[in-house]
Structure 1
């Protein structure tokens, strides 16, 4: 299965975000951000790195930087089931996602950061926490996080990491650490500007010249720089952003495939289907059926 590489675009002047997932719809994916996921509803199977395990309401998953992951939802079907009766069975979660570069480079040698360093190292295996008290505490900290700004958000994040570190009720989700030998790429400007532009304009016709003008760089130089930093072309990333949006529409809306294609920035339905299958290894119809059941 191919891995969708997501780019998390945070708000201005912040490097960490709280994201709500009313349903888990993304295919297997990864991102440079670390992720703390609280499962607030449902149960199912999670794939983290090389590991496969079950999750349920009240669990917490801590997923390392660039570790591929996927959450699937179990639904209970019977002959009397209807679409409306299945709505409550979708799995849902609340996630805190934060960039690696908020920490000092030599934090393993700094006593005050050592517990964070150890926790981040474990997260490359994926960690499942099953502690009811911890879950309630983390929900409360998320509420504080949402009402805080700037430095207060970082302090709240550090408190979350401290609570995870203190818990004795956890297990590693994989026997091997994923991507531990590879350094995390230093993704800075102008790459972030490119991603921001793509997320803001993916429904429109996007040209390299317009992106380069926005970034204030020569088009050829920008392409080379972006490829070196991300190991992908700008238009590969654009396709992934469009298909990620299409996945949401296929799950949440009743739009047909043609409508989803146009709403995701494609003028050709055939090209949309080809791109969708290339990235997800499924047709749009197959993906919708999988998410439905």
Structure 2
């Protein structure tokens, strides 16, 4: 199943879209677009697919999705009944990363928001006090369709999210289309090496060599910088790519396991269940129900 490009209609009079949707169901095709998207669910329930993440959603959920990240909000079956009377209500903001001009992002004051744009490429779920504060601004933005206040409100929301620790990644590192660069060259080299060679057996000694460190020093350095072990990263990357192949539904599960660097099917199944909380066959079946 391939995601489709969905065109976001932005009025020539405005630099970004802000609106309140009230529909029988949310847009239910697996899709992506170059705009970032901030969505707050006012009234709706179902299953949210973001990259390789599958989670239930309900009213009160707030998510920021990065550019070109495939996703869909699929309402529960009851919403599709003609006489259900159910509605899907949401507030949405969609904007290109450079909607205020390419030079604007290079301003010193935009550093935090630039980092947020990078983080959003995996999708972010926003919770807690941050969600409440962003919601207050979002409500104002949707109601104020004119003037410079629109720009101010959007930037205030992004700054709040950028400075928050109440964020959870949705999609895995391995699923995203390309590697999102970290500031340090050493971490960068390790990630580039991993994403280029994850489909074969990798010894931790190889990764340590790439980092120009001894194995013990490398293990400590990597854990301190990323809050996970190198083996955890490697497994996440492999499972992320496996999810992409399962979604596209082109190969057998055994072949996918081998193509992603697992030389033992039972190890693949065990690792997949640990990270995704379901079997590869169930994961493929759930995504198979989506129509592009």
- Residue by residue, what CA displacement relative to the aligned partner does 1:10-41 show, whole Å, maximum 9, x if unpaired? 12231211133323133011111100000111
**Would the aligned equivalents of 2:15 and 2:100 in 1 still touch at CA under 8 Å?**
no
Matches within 5 A, 1:123-142: 123-131=120-128, 133-142=129-138
In the TM superposition, residue 173 of structure 1 has moved relative to its aligned partner by: 0.3
**Would the aligned equivalents of 2:35 and 2:66 in 1 still touch at CA under 8 Å?**
yes
Scaled by the length of structure 1, what TM-score is found? 0.53
Scaled by the length of structure 2, what TM-score is found? 0.53
In the TM superposition, residue 168 of structure 1 has moved relative to its aligned partner by: 2.4
Comparing 172-181 with 99-108, greater Cα deviation is found at 99-108
Matches within 5 A, 1:10-159: 10-22=10-22, 23-75=25-77, 83-84=82-83, 86-88=84-86, 90-102=87-99, 105=102, 110-131=107-128, 133-145=129-141, 146-159=143-156
RMSD (Å), alpha carbons: 3.0
How many pairs were matched up?
A: 179
Which residue, out of 160, 165, 170, partners 1:163? 160
In the TM superposition, residue 139 of structure 1 has moved relative to its aligned partner by: 3.3
In the TM superposition, residue 75 of structure 1 has moved relative to its aligned partner by: 5.0
**Would the aligned equivalents of 1:43 and 1:73 in 2 still touch at CA under 8 Å?**
yes
In the TM superposition, residue 46 of structure 1 has moved relative to its aligned partner by: 1.0
Partner in structure 2 of residue 209 of structure 1: none
- Residue by residue, what CA displacement relative to the aligned partner does 1:120-154 show, whole Å, maximum 9, x if unpaired? 111100111122x4444333323322325243211
**Would the aligned equivalents of 2:10 and 2:16 in 1 still touch at CA under 8 Å?**
yes
**Would the aligned equivalents of 1:38 and 1:135 in 2 still touch at CA under 8 Å?**
no
Alignment CA distance shift 1:104-1:114 (3 Å): farther
In the TM superposition, residue 43 of structure 1 has moved relative to its aligned partner by: 2.4
Question: Could you tell me how far apart the structure 2 residues matched to 1:150 and 1:139 are?
Answer: 20
Question: Could you tell me how far apart the structure 1 residues matched to 2:106 and 2:43 are?
Answer: 39
Unaligned runs of at least 5 residues, structure 2: 181-287
Unaligned runs of at least 5 residues, structure 1: 183-280, 288-293
Partner in structure 2 of residue 223 of structure 1: none
DSSP-derived class of the 1:70 partner: strand
Question: Could you tell me how far apart the structure 2 residues matched to 1:127 and 1:33 are?
Answer: 15
Question: Could you tell me how far apart the structure 2 residues matched to 1:138 and 1:150 are?
Answer: 20
